[in-house]
C-alpha cells in the first residue's frame, strides 16, 4: 500500500545539521526526500532511517549550484502533493576576504545560499498556498547579524535568507502556510572543512552540537516561532532588535532630509 505519510524534503542532508533534521523528522513520521551531492552518504542515511523509523526515504543526487540539479529538485517539489515540509538547509561559505575569494567560490556561495532556497521555496509554495498548509524551514546563520572581514559574502547571503524569510512570513500571514528561519551559531559539522577554518580554532565554549541545534530549532518550530535563535538565552534580545529595525524603518518615512544634512550656509 502506498505511504500516506507527509513528506519532508531536506537539502544538504548528507552531513551535519541536515542529517540530524532527517533523523528527527523521520522519528516524527515524515517520509523523506534527501538531497545533496554525496549520494553514497544519502543512500546510507536513507537505509538507516527507513529501518529505524519505518518511513520511506528517497535519496536524490543534485548539485544545487547547477541548473540541472536545481531544476530536478524544483520539479519534484512541484509534482508531489504529499510534500508538507521543505528544509532549505544546504549551504556553504569559504571564510575569506572578498578579494581573496575565487570567482568560482563567490558564485557557488551565492548560488547555493541564496538562489537555491529562493527557487525551491518558489517551487513548493504554490501547492502549499493552494492546500493552505505546509511549512518551509530556512537555515540562515547568526552571521546574518554580523559581518566579519572573513564572512562578508557568507554574512550577506545569510542576511538575504533572513529577509527573504521575513518577507515570505508577511506574504503568508493569515494562511495555514508557515516559514521559520533558524539562525544557528557555531555548530559541530563539516562546514568548517570547506570553510577553510578548522573547528578547533573556535572556543569550544561557543560551539553547539548539531543534535542540540536541531532539537532546539524544532522546539522553536513547534512553538510557532517565526525566527529561531537556538543559542540566544535571552529571547527579549531578538524582540528588541526586531523592534529597533521597525522603529528605524518608520523613522525613514518622513520625506525630507534630516537637519544634519542641510546644506551649509
Ligand atoms: N556549522 C555551523 O557552524 C553553521 C552555523 C550557522 C549556519 N550554518 C548553516 O547550516 C547549514 C548546514 O550546514 P552544516 O553546518 O550542517 O554543514 P555541512 O555538514 O558541511 O553540511 C552542508 C550540507 O550542504 C550540502 N551541500 C553543499 N554544497 C552543495 C551543493 N552544491 N548542492 C547540494 N548540496 C550541497 C552538503 O552535501 P554534499 O557535500 O554531499 O553536497 C551537506 O549535506 C548551512 O546552510 C550552513 O550555512 C552552519
Strand blocks (E) in the chain: 7-11, 31-36, 57-61, 83-88, 134-139, 177-182, 187-188, 208-209, 227-228
**Closest atom of ligand 1 to CA, residue 93:** 47
30 is catalytic: no
**Closest atom of ligand 1 to CA, residue 194:** 20
Supply the residue whose CA is at minimum distance from atom 7 of ligand 1.
141
Ligand 1 is surrounded, with C-beta below 6 A, by 12-18, 36-38, 63-65, 89-92, 112, 139, 141, 184, 186-187, 189-191, 194
**Residue 112, C-alpha cell as written in the block:** 547555493
Q: Where are the domains of the chain?
A: 7-234
What is the separation, in whole angstroms, between the first and last Cα of the chain?
82
> What does 119-162 look like in DSSP terms, one character per residue?
HHHHHHHHHHHHHT-EEEEEE--GGGG---TT-HHHHHHHHHHH
Q: Ligand 1 centre from 234 Cα, in Å?
A: 27
Q: Measured between alpha carbons, how far is 206 from 217 in angstroms, rounded to an integer?
A: 17
Secondary structure letter of residue 111 according to DSSP: I
Per-residue pLDDT of the chain (265 residues; tens, 9 = 90+): 889 999 999 999 999 999 999 999 999 999 999 999 999 999 999 999 999 999 999 999 999 999 999 999 999 999 999 999 999 999 999 999 999 999 999 999 999 999 999 999 999 999 999 999 999 999 999 999 999 999 999 999 999 999 999 999 999 999 999 999 999 999 999 999 999 999 999 999 999 999 999 999 999 999 999 999 999 999 999 999 999 999 999 999 999 999 999 998 8
Q: Ligand 1 centre from 145 Cα, in Å?
A: 19
- Exposed e or buried b per residue across 184-216, where buried means at least 16 C-beta atoms within 10 angstroms of its C-beta: bbbbbbebbeebebebeeeeeeebbebeebbeb
Tell me what pLDDT residue 265 has: 80
The CA-CA-CA angle for residues 253, 118, 14, to 5°, reads 135
Options 3.30.1490.190, 3.65.10.10, 3.40.50.720, 3.90.1300.10; CATH for 7-234 is 3.40.50.720
Provide the angle, in degrees to the nearest 10, between the axes of the packed helices 16-27 and 39-53.
Answer: 20
Amino acid at each position: 500500500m502506498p505511504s500516506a505519510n507527509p513528506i519532508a524534503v531536506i537539502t544538504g542532508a548528507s552531513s551535519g545539521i541536515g542529517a540530524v533534521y532527517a533523523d528527527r523528522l523521520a522519528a516524527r513520521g515524515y517520509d523523506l526526500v534527501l538531497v545533496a551531492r554525496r549520494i553514497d552518504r544519502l543512500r546510507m542515511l536513507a537505509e538507516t532511517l527507513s529501518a529505524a523509523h519505518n518511513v520511506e526515504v528517497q535519496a536524490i543526487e543534485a548539485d544545487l549550484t547547477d541548473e540541472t540539479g536545481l531544476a530536478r529538485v524544483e520539479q519534484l517539489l512541484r509534482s508531489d502533493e504529499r510534500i508538507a515540509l521543505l528544509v532549505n538547509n544546504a549551504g556553504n561559505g569559504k571564510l575569506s576576504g572578498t578579494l581573496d575569494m575565487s570567482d568560482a567560490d563567490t558564485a557557488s556561495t551565492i548560488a547555493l545560499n541564496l538562489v537555491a532556497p529562493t527557487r525551491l521555496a518558489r517551487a513548493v509554495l504554490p501547492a502549499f498556498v493552494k492546500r493552505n498548509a505546509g511549512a518551509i524551514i530556512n537555515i540562515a546563520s547568526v552571521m546574518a547579524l554580523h559581518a566579519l572581514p572573513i564572512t562578508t559574502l557568507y554574512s550577506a547571503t545569510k542576511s538575504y535568507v533572513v529577509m527573504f524569510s521575513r518577507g515570505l512570513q508577511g506574504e503568508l500571514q493569515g494562511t495555514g502556510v508557515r516559514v521559520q528561519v533558524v539562525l544557528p551559531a557555531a555548530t559541530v559539522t563539516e562546514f568548517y572543512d570547506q570553510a577553510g577554518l578548522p573547528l578547533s580554532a573556535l572556543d569550544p565554549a561557543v560551539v553547539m552540537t548539531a543534535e542540540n541545534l536541531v532539537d532546539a530549532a524544532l522546539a522553536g518550530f513547534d512553538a510557532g516561532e517565526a525566527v529561531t535563535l537556538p543559542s540566544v538565552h535571552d529571547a527579549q534580545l531578538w524582540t528588541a532588535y526586531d523592534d529597533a529595525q521597525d522603529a528605524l524603518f518608520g523613522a525613514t518615512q518622513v520625506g525630507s532630509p534630516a537637519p544634519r544634512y542641510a546644506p551649509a550656509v
